Amino acid sequence: MFDSILQPAIAYARKDFLEAIRDRRLIAVSIILGAILIGTSAAVASFMVSTTTPGSGAGNVPDPFDVWLNGTSGVLTGIAFGVTTVVLPFLPMLAASRGLERDRARGIYQLSLAKPIPPWGPALGKFVGLYAALAIPTVAISGGVVFAIYAVAGAFPSGGLLGVFVGASVILVGLYLLLTLCVGAFLPQELVGPLALLVWVGFNALEQTGFYITARFMTILGADQAVTYQSAWTDLATFTGLYHGLLAPAVPGELGFVVGTFDVAQVVPWAILVWFVGVYFAYAILLWRMPSR
């Protein structure tokens, strides 16, 4: 039983890792996305001001856009909250879509279905292989963002924020990778990209919409407006919200960007684990469903 899961997992992990790191289109897109993020970081850092400015958020507590230009940590906070979740997900969406496409076009997926093994191994292996390959450009890009800020501003952002930024970016990529694999396991190949894109739009738009609605409703119910405004950055229903939830506690206190007392921030790691496990099981089951075409 152990070998029937472990061995297929190793088989797919090795194959997909090697294919992904040699995938020219994926390399090209990594370079483009990296250039966008690193270029934006350098541009923002060049406008950096060294003094903290009062925020314009509800209750005069600064939201991430207000702390944007306050020191190198402010620049990184702004990039992380404002740009990363919009740009970075394209990388895992492309990798997952192409990984599934390769297997289907070459008949590897169809032949895998005829083998006497449960679905958990191939599903896990494919995810791990692609994730390992994506971790390289993700760390390079997020590290590049930090170095671009340093190169322009002459100082590194806070060490804690820097580490969480790199780690959270890797987690964000993993979540989108797994979700796109799950979507691709039951959709025709031509619809995988568009649906993954819809999810991306939904998660980013949903997060913003949820943010404002939550703040409004909680204010009406009598909650502290400033705290609510800040806490609402974190939500558990979207990857953007989870990413923000990971990052918010690491933002240096001197920026005045408070996480608030909302308990959601503490459950973010658990929520991420639930997302990973839940989507993985759904993906594995859908992947091993006997296809109709």
Residues engaged in binding another protein (CB under 8 A): 3-5, 7-8, 10-11, 14-15, 19, 102, 106-108, 110-118, 121-122, 290-293
CB of 168 or CB of 181, closer to another protein: 181
Question: Can you read off the two tokens belonging to residue 50?
Answer: 């060294």
Task: Give the residue from 241, 22, 243, 242 showing the smallest Cα distance to 136.
Answer: 22
Q: Which two tokens stand for residue 17?
A: 């890792």
Q: Shortest approach of another protein to residue 2 CB, angstroms?
A: 9
- Apex 94 CA angle, 93 and 97, nearest 5: 85
Give 36 or 117: the residue with its C-beta nearer to another protein: 117
Question: What is the nearest approach in angstroms of another protein to the Cβ of residue 245?
Answer: 38
- Written as one letter, the residue type at 233 is W
Q: How far apart are CA 205 and CA 41, in angstroms?
A: 22
Written as one string, the DSSP assignment of 164-202 is HHHHHHHHHHHHHHHHHHHHHHHS-HHHHHHHHHHHHHH
238 secondary structure, DSSP code: S
Nearest distance in Å: CB 103, another protein = 9
Nearer CB in complex with another protein: 11/58: 11
Residue 286: count of CB within 10 angstroms of its CB: 17
Helix (H, G, I), strand (E, B) or coil at 49: strand
CB of 158 to another protein, least distance (A): 44
Closest approach of another protein to the CB of residue 212, in Å: 42
Looking at the Cβ atoms of 34 and 122, the one nearer to another protein is: 122
Q: Which is nearer to another protein, 51 or 292 (CB)?
A: 292
